[in-house]
Structure 1
Amino acid sequence: MNNLHNHQQQENHKINGGSHKSTIPHEVNNPFKLHQFSLASGASIVENFLSSNRLPAFLATGFFQVPIRELDKEKTAFYTGSRLIRFTKMPQGFKNSFAIFQRAMQLILKDLLGACCVVYIDDILICGESIEEHNFNLTKVIARIKKYRLEENIEKRIERTESIKFLGYEISYNTVKPSLERAHGIIECKSPESRKDIQRFIGMINYDRQFVQGLSNYLKSLYRLQSKDVKFMWTEIEENILWRLKLNRNKD
């Protein structure tokens, strides 16, 4: 694809704090229907590591590696100045890029997923219960990626490390916990002033629900305030719940 000029960029933020910048203008995206393909939550992806003694490693692949069928290339065409541009490989920012790439990675790594690795779009977490198993599994995953002609982002590779950040969690030998950055986001959260504020806070804390004992009991009062049939009133009761949840996150 030729260099792009004078088109709007958008960003798609990843759970682990990075972001994917869009290289595709909005007018290309608009005609396409959104694929109904649900990405698993970070919590469910790292669940395999909660009760295992494993050394983590990290690999990154990347977009611009999935070829577009010849008959579909014209669907990505757009003008920039006097030039007509079209993509030959799936770009970042296309509304279905995440779903397509995740599905592709699951097919490529299908027999390895859960056994020695997990994948979230273009990020792969590999593990082993010993250095030998760790190295063996790392070699298997790299070989599988190369078999399907995907290129690894070598600069992002991390191996044989004591701790690694992945999808907003810190994963180390026999330990998985929310990253400090995400914990601080909850701790520093202001008292909600609207239903939208409550929804945002519940979403943040629900992401770590397996780390908060009795969370459903804490959230009963907050769920009640989400209802349009209930007058929004933030009282000392809700403030005490908020304080207790913040205290729980601060322990990490």
Structure 2
Amino acid sequence: MPFGLKNDGATYQRAMQKIFDDMLHENEECYVDDLVVKSIKRKDHPKDLLEVFEWLRRYQLKMNPLKCAFGVTSGKFLGFLVLRHGIEIKQAKIDAIVALAEPRNIHELKSLQGKLAYLRRFISNLAGKC
């Protein structure tokens, strides 16, 4: 697929979802070109990896070995820190919002809203009144 098309990301995502349909959300997560193979039990991880590799080979997809990490219990995925017990946000993202000055115009307010939307799953009662 040629790069630079407006819909190339969405098209690629749909293709990946079709390829990994049986594995998605069970032992594999995929977002465009980011792929995470997850296993509940450590002993199942080699089998889960092998299954993903077989699908990649079947559809002639290649991975960059320099961007791969195998057998880890935590790592970055889509800007979040994925841990065994759940996901966390990087402290630097929180510090950046705390350090922001009060919005002075509509553009700065919308920028703040966008940053808060990114963190909304980590802030209880974000939409509630103070």
Query: Could you say which structure has the greater relative contact order, defined with CA pairs below 8 angstroms and 6 or more residues apart?
Result: 1
Give the Cα–Cα distance (whole angstroms) in 2 for the partners of residues 179 and 136 of structure 1: 31
2:90 pairs with 179, 188, 198, which one? 179
Paired residue for 1:152? 63
Which residue number in structure 2 is paired with residue 214 of structure 1? 125
Q: Distance in 2 between matches of 1:92 and 1:188?
A: 37
Residue pair 1:165, 1:179 contacting (<8 A) in 2 also: no
Larger Rg: 1
* 2:13 counterpart (99, 102, 106): 102
Give the one of 115, 119, 128 matched to 1:204: 115
Partner of 1:137: 48
Residue 146 to residue 181, structure 1, CA distance change in 2 (3 Å): farther
Deviation at 1:208, TM superposition (A): 2.0
Please report how far the alpha carbon of residue 144 of structure 1 lies from its aligned counterpart in structure 2 after TM superposition.
0.7
Change (3 A) 1:179 1:94: same
Q: 1:131 to 1:212 in 2, by over 3 A?
A: same
TM-score, normalisation: structure 2: 0.90
* Candidates 119, 124, 127, aligned match of 2:35: 124
Number of residue pairs aligned between Structure 1 and Structure 2: 130
Paired with 1:198 and 1:99, the residues of 2 have a C-alpha distance of 29
How large is the Cα RMSD of the aligned pairs? 1.6
Q: State the shift of 1:167 in Å.
A: 0.7
The equivalences for 1:1-252 within 5 A come to 90-218=1-129
Shift of 1:107: 0.7
- The structure with the greater share of residues assigned to helix is 2
CA contact (8 A) 1:128 1:134 kept: yes
CA distance in 2, matches of 1:214, 1:188: 21
Shift of 1:180: 2.9
Q: Deviations over 1:174-201 (max 9, x none)?
A: 1311123322332232221111211111
Instruction: In structure 1, give the amino acid aligned to 2:107.
Output: K
What TM-score results when the alignment is normalised by the length of structure 1? 0.49
